[in-house]
Amino acid sequence: MRYLGALGTAMVCSVLTACGGGGSSGSGVSGQGYSPYACNSALYEKAKELRIYQVMTEAYIDTDGAGYGVGYGTSHHRGDIQGVINSLEYIQSLGMNAIWLTPVFESVSLSGQDLAADRLDATGYFATNYFSIDPNFGSLDDARELVNKAHDLGMYVFFDGVFGHFKENAHNYVSPKGISVSRSGKGQASTGREAVYPDDLDFFKEVATYWVSELKIDGWRLDQAYQVPTGAWGEIRQAVENTSASVSYQLAGETVNPLGYMVAEIWDGESGIASNGYGETSAPGLCSAFDFPMRYRIVQAFAGEEGGYDIRNASTLNDGFATHNVYPSHAVPNGFITNHDLVRFGDLLQREGLADPSDSTYWSRYQAVYAFLSAYTGPITLYYGEEIGDQVDGFDDKVTGDCVSSGLCDDHVARSTAKIESLASEPGASVFSANANQKALRDRISGLMAIRKDHPALYLGSRKHIVSNEGEALYVDYKVAGADKVLFVVNVTESSRTLLLNVNNIDGNTSLTDLESAEELNAVGNTLTVELLPLQARFLEVSP
């Protein structure tokens, strides 16, 4: 539990900004009194193919100059759905096959509400009307166009579901079936209230299924999922899957049902995620959750976490995978490196004093960390801007005094204005064009996503970790899915290394082909020799 100090600090901040950790789990996690529903193994095997691109709606592309204009973080806070529509082909070009939008439902102002409430409204994480698109982001027609165009391009669409809390005026906005939310939940943040279960279960079942029917979205990212009992999650999940099975659409020309994928955000260690998200084997809650324990090990190994803790060696990464042993068999963790509540990887590099954007090491570390994510078994998520190594200039020098007013607290600094190739971030701004380093990173990530797509060993294969002759310098995994076999190696140091691999570690196979360079490596006797440059990652197809 190396990272819990940093987690604790981040979660305190998040109570104020309403987007990730914090809050009370007073709703409980018990499955008692709810109808158990098993995880759909076929659905969640399919979900392992997901390469999700996360968009923070209010910080993304602004096409009309309208919108909130205030919020947490450093962006213009006027992003809109049309900006996402305009970016879909770009997102697809990165090799992503899904997008997740932060909440787009309407938040209605209260009379006399303060700036903190205005900022919360812009995030969307304290919604008032769950059955209406926030006009600051666009219209229902805009949302429909976004989903339809994404589907045409072969990408799934996930909405952000906040089913454990809402704005205090939400009870005034009943569902199409005439259901309203409870009024007795504990207060949260400046204008929020927690949901009460089982009282609010039918309301949120209707929310979860309405958008699958209305727009044919493919599922939900679930904010602060620990606020909802695991038993209730089982019932909501069943409702979503049943509704998904009842409608269809064209995904890149193929008739499919909405995927029905649901993934929990529980900003906690593995034990908390297991008990408050996955639930018991006999009565599963959710079947997938973001892999926070692994995420903290990843940034410790390649940079350092928000609290300054780092162990930049190979065993740190393997320790991250070991946390999965705590989870029940139905668990499908979702790998990621940063999101809207965490510090961007580039800013972590600068905080650790490892590299600035002007240093080649900055870009090498970015390529190495996203290569590691590309080899992760299960679905993965990439936060917008990471594909170009985005960061906030001078962030560490500015984190003093009132970080909330400056927009530079750790839990919202990453909400910076989107920089999308050939688009202006807002009306009147210059069209963005990546520099050479940004383009090289973006091209590498696109290539990594293509390798991942073509090699199921990477996203659903078995994983055998190999402790190499280079010990803590090299992380080595042998991944197998049927006939597809890939050796993944990454050098976590800033010096060249040589891997001497006994072929017995890869089932006696004697030949490797680099999936990026096409270089062929053949064993001499029982030994394969693999050379690695500083911070280099290699994907090596294994054959007899």
At 16, the pLDDT band (50, 70, 90 cuts) reads: very low
- pLDDT tens column, 175-209: 999 999 999 999 998 899 999 999 999 999 999 99
At 10, the pLDDT band (50, 70, 90 cuts) reads: very low
Of 244, 188, 236, nearest in space to 213 by CA: 244
Residue 476: pLDDT above 50? yes
| pLDDT reported for residue 30 | 52
CA–CA separation, 533 and 123 (whole Å) = 42
DSSP-assigned beta bridge partners for residue 281: none
| pLDDT reported for residue 52 | 99
Read off the pTM. Answer: 0.95
Distance of CA 76 to CAs 198, 339, 401, 417, Å?
39, 18, 22, 6
| pLDDT reported for residue 418 | 98
| pLDDT reported for residue 27 | 39
Residue 26: pLDDT above 90? no
Of 92, 83, 99, nearest in space to 147 by CA: 99
More confident of the two residues 12 and 156: 156
Residue 1: pLDDT above 70? no
- pLDDT tens column, 84-113: 999 999 999 999 999 999 999 999 999 999
Rounded percentage of the chain residues whose pLDDT exceeds 90: 90
Mean pLDDT taken over the chain = 93
| pLDDT reported for residue 194 | 98
CA–CA separation, 214 and 428 (whole Å) = 35
Over residues 505-515, the mean pLDDT reads 98
Neighbour tally for 511: CB within 10 Å: 16
Find out whether 389 and 370 touch, Cβ atoms under 8 Å.
Answer: no
Rounded percentage of the chain residues whose pLDDT exceeds 70: 94
| pLDDT reported for residue 396 | 78
Q: Which domains does the chain have, with CATH numbers?
A: 4-454 (3.20.20.80), 462-543 (2.60.40.1180)
Q: In terms of C-beta density within 10 A (0-12 exposed, 13-18 middle, 19 or more buried), how is residue 69 classed?
A: middle
Torsion 410-390-157-211 (CA) sign: positive
